[in-house]
Amino acid sequence: MAETTTPMMIQYKQLKQNHKDAILFFRLGDFYEMFEDDAREASRILDITLTKRANVPMCGIPYHAAGSYIQRLVRAGKKIAVCEQIAMPTPGRGLATREVVQIITPGTLVDEGLLEQAANNYLVAITSLHGRISLSYCDLSTGRFAVTSFPLAEREQRLRCELYRLQPREVVMDESLWETDSVLKRLVDEREDILVNRFPSWYFDPVSAWTRLSRQLNVVTLKGFGLSQDSAEVASAGAVLQYIEDTSKNMLPHIRNLQVYSEQNHVMLDESTQRNLELVHNLQDGSRRYTLYEVLNHTKTAMGARRLYEWILSPLLDKDGITKRLECVNFFFRDQRVLSQVREKLSGILDIERLSSRIAMDRA
């Protein structure tokens, strides 16, 4: 019997059929095996040996060392569908039962070894509704969830600003918008490091999104967040949650708040301003050396480093908010003893934000 028609390969092809856009890690004993096109692509990226069995290309990695290989694939902008043996057959009878238990994508990472400690890892969703662009983003590893909208006529400037500020690893796009809006497509295409997922318009259905958001945030209505059922923001925010649920195959109990923001809350720094002022990346090599962020970053925790990064790129417009921050700085500046004690205590604190997220998702 040809290898491609064995029960195991039939099982593999059935699973692969549902995950065509991902590299399928197919668990066989102590290894994850990859076959056919997945094997060719993975062997090239990972620099591992490509072999053949019955003319079927294949390669494999030890399951206990999968983390480092997954990291390299994610950095190459690939999705990985992890297929595990969830039930073993009785000796000599049939196949192990296998299921895809997790889909790992660049924008939905939670494992500490795959993330940059001092930076958020954002997944962005973009669609349009009622003449406005709806943009939402979420960092699954911290539970940070926010949404905004702006007039379609302002999309070039605002999208360029937001994409440069957020540095997303992955985008969920309305396919019809992608195909009809050349400006939006060009802006996303300019960023070669973004994995783009295109979905039909029903994926952004505002009615379903309203229900999904209300359930996730455990509220009867979203009016407390300043949203109505007609708000453009709802469509993209619901799509972000749907995509995360589909890939993580898990509940998201740590996502319990939604920040709705606009240009009235913060100074919107355009891409040129962010780049030329070298706020968080320098012009020479794109690193954080010799930037404002490097000068100011004396934080003792990863959470503080991420918050400082966000504050630099989103300066407040609200006078009261600015005053409160300055009062905090002044308090510690005038009492160096307290400052030293606080810094000493903070230096022993782990990344509680990400640790609690992994616990909530049963990934700790």
Structure-token match 């969703």, residue found? 125
Collapsing DSSP to helix, strand or coil, 152 comes out as: helix
User: Is 227 within 8 Å of 234 (Cβ atoms)?
Assistant: yes
pLDDT of residue 4: 61
**Alpha-helix residue ranges (DSSP H) falling in 84-232:** 155-166, 175-180, 182-189, 206-217
Decide: 268 and 158 in contact? Cβ < 8 Å: yes
Say if residues 24 and 101 touch (Cβ distance below 8 Å): no
Note the pLDDT tens digit of each residue in 70-103.
999 998 989 999 999 988 887 767 788 899 998 9
Beta bridge partners of 116: none
Mean pLDDT of the chain: 92
Structure tokens that stand for 33 in this block: 């095996």
Residue 1: pLDDT band (50, 70, 90) is very low
Report the share of the chain in percent with pLDDT over 90: 81
Amino acid at position 290, single letter: Y
Q: pTM above the 0.85 mark? A: yes
Taking the CA of residue 251 as centre, how many other CA atoms within 13 Å lie in the half-sphere pointing to its CB?
9
- What are the chain's domains? 3-104 (3.40.1170.10), 113-260 (3.30.420.110), 271-359 (1.10.1420.10)
What's the rounded Cα separation, in Å, for the pair 84 and 252?
22
Read off the pLDDT of residues 237-260 as tens digits, 9 standing for 90 and up.
Answer: 999 999 999 888 777 889 999 999
Quote the pLDDT of residue 92: 64
Report the alpha-carbon distance of residue 277 to residue 270 in Å, rounded: 11
Close Cβ partners of 269 (under 8 Å, ≥ 6 residues apart): 161, 165, 279, 313, 314, 315
Question: With contact defined as beta carbons under 8 Å apart, do 167 and 137 qualify?
Answer: no
Contacts of 294 (CB under 8 A, 6+ apart): 288
Higher pLDDT, 341 or 265: 341
**Is the predicted pLDDT of residue 5 greater than 50, yes or no?**
yes
